[in-house]
Amino acid sequence: MSNRIVRLPATQQIPRIMSEMEAAAETLQEMGWGVSVFGSARLRPGSPYYELAEKLGRRLAEAGLTVIAGGGPGIMEAANKGAFEAGGHSVGLNITLPREPHNNHYQTHSLQFDYFYSRKATFVMHSAAYVALPGGFGTLDELFEVTTLVQTGKIPHAPIVLIGTEFWAGLLGWVKDQLLANGLISPGDMDLFFVSDDIDAVMDHISTHCIDCFRRDEEPTLPIERESNPV
């Protein structure tokens, strides 16, 4: 069997992308605002980050918030599991990949995507906050996509939480030493990130900044409080 990837023409891709986004919107609009959780598929049960993600998912569900994760194993599974076992809404945005082992079984609402474009749009469609745990290229892609959208005002200001202080320290140091020091981002852009391994502190931060967004059937009301230059 050939592993060659066939690129469809745009005229065929666009209707499929729109169909995926419409299906996701119909599912998510009934749940109110939630929190997107990003992280590696490769961190298994027993990892301290898996345990933190599971605890986070449980706490978010107990607070009445929808948990939106990638639907795969690892950190995604942990966040879904915590929410699922707490009896909350546990959404999995599952992506079809050649080497993805499986979707996790802790999803109350399972959405399937063929395109990263529509999947990433769905993450921000109904999220009032974003949490990133350790991960690889996919996690970094999701993290900086969200950061760019908040920084440029394309989505309302929202907490961007990084769990894994030791893991993220090198990246944040590089951002400060290279991007900020060379004027490639504004000083206030560093304040977009809240870094903590304390789930109580994470929950307090999310609640303090996004309480208005958690009300069912309301639009986000938090304004962009500062001006910043695009990346």
Residue that wins the pLDDT comparison between 175 and 95: 175
Binned at pLDDT 50, 70 and 90, residue 226 comes out as very low
Q: What is the pTM of this model?
A: 0.86
Portion of the chain with pLDDT greater than 90, in percent: 66
Residue that wins the pLDDT comparison between 224 and 15: 15
Binned at pLDDT 50, 70 and 90, residue 24 comes out as confident
Regarding the domain delimited by 14-214, which CATH topology (the fold level of the hierarchy) does it fall under? Rossmann fold (3.40.50)
Tell me the C-alpha distance between 160 and 150, whole Å. Answer: 9
Which residues is 194 bridged to in the sheet?
161
Q: Note the pLDDT tens digit of each residue in 160-174.
A: 999 999 999 999 999
Two tokens, residue 107: 């999803």
Binned at pLDDT 50, 70 and 90, residue 151 comes out as very high
Tell me the C-alpha distance between 167 and 196, whole Å. Answer: 11
Q: Note the pLDDT tens digit of each residue in 103-128.
A: 999 999 999 998 888 999 999 988 99
Residue that wins the pLDDT comparison between 181 and 210: 181
- Start-to-end CA span in the chain (Å): 42
Domain spans, the chain = 14-214
Tell me the C-alpha distance between 129 and 21, whole Å. Answer: 20
**CA angle, 34 as apex, 31 and 40 as ends, to 5°?**
125
Sign of dihedral through CA atoms 8, 11, 14, 16?
negative
Report the chain's mean pLDDT, rounded to a whole number.
Answer: 87
**H-run or E-run covering 67:** strand 66-69
pLDDT-wise least confident of 40-49, 77-86, 212-221: 212-221
